[in-house]
A = this chain, B = another copy of it.
């Protein structure tokens, strides 16, 4: 299996996991089947659509059928089996951290190859990783979770900076990029376990 195939497989796992997170949010809001699938679709593909619009390529969500179909199937499975999924919450959080890690790395690389300068590529890498979750929360009328109380976007941003640094140093190879993804994953998982949070404003 060549690296680009691995990348697609990893990407689709991320899509499935984010779709499940979106569909779960839809179920919690008592949306109908279509609504659940739609929120799943946005959570899985929204970040990538925004990324592709910014770097001016046709969004993969519309040009590669495997992306929307994966999102739809994962959302439908969530719709059907959500009580059982609840018991898997811990695994879902781990998979979500994996999706975050993967989308950060692929998004930053796509930004750098656009080519965007490093700051822009890091931003778009982070946004492609967190954008789906933002869309999910907007659709379900919640203040986005990522803006509130967790080290989530920060993990993505650190990973994006790592990727940009590797590319700048000409050290971007499959193992080092996997390393950057592992950093994102590790920060996210440790933050979950230790309940790390970013600082909140002082009461004025």
List A residues at the B interface (Cβ < 8 Å): 26-27, 29-36, 38-39, 49, 53-56, 58-59, 61-65, 68-69, 79, 82-83, 86, 111, 114, 116-121, 123-124, 134, 138-144, 146-150, 153-154, 197-202, 204
A120 CA / B118 CA spacing, docked (Å): 31
Contact B123 A68 (CB under 8 A): yes
Chain B positions within 8 Å of A68 at CB level: 119-120, 123
Partner of A34, one of B55, B79, B116, B198: B198
Instruction: Tell me what chain A mostly uses at the interface: helix, strand, loop, or mixed.
Output: helix
Using CB atoms, name the residue of chain B closest to A62: B120
In the complex where A139-B147, A143-B140 touch, is A32 in contact with B123 (Cβ < 8 A)? no
Least CB distance, A59 to chain B, in whole angstroms: 6
**Do A141 and B142 contact each other (CB < 8 Å), given the known contacts A68-B120, A148-B32?**
yes
Task: List 18 additional contacts besides A32-B148, A34-B153, A55-B58; criterion CB under 8 Å.
Answer: A29-B143, A31-B147, A31-B200, A32-B149, A32-B150, A33-B199, A35-B146, A38-B153, A49-B54, A62-B116, A62-B117, A65-B118, A68-B119, A82-B202, A138-B138, A138-B139, A139-B147, A141-B143
Residues of chain B within 8 A (CB-CB) of A121 are 62
A119–B62 CA distance with the chains assembled, in angstroms: 7
Closest 9 CB pairs of A and B: A35-B147, A62-B120, A83-B204, A32-B198, A65-B119, A33-B198, A27-B201, A33-B199, A34-B198
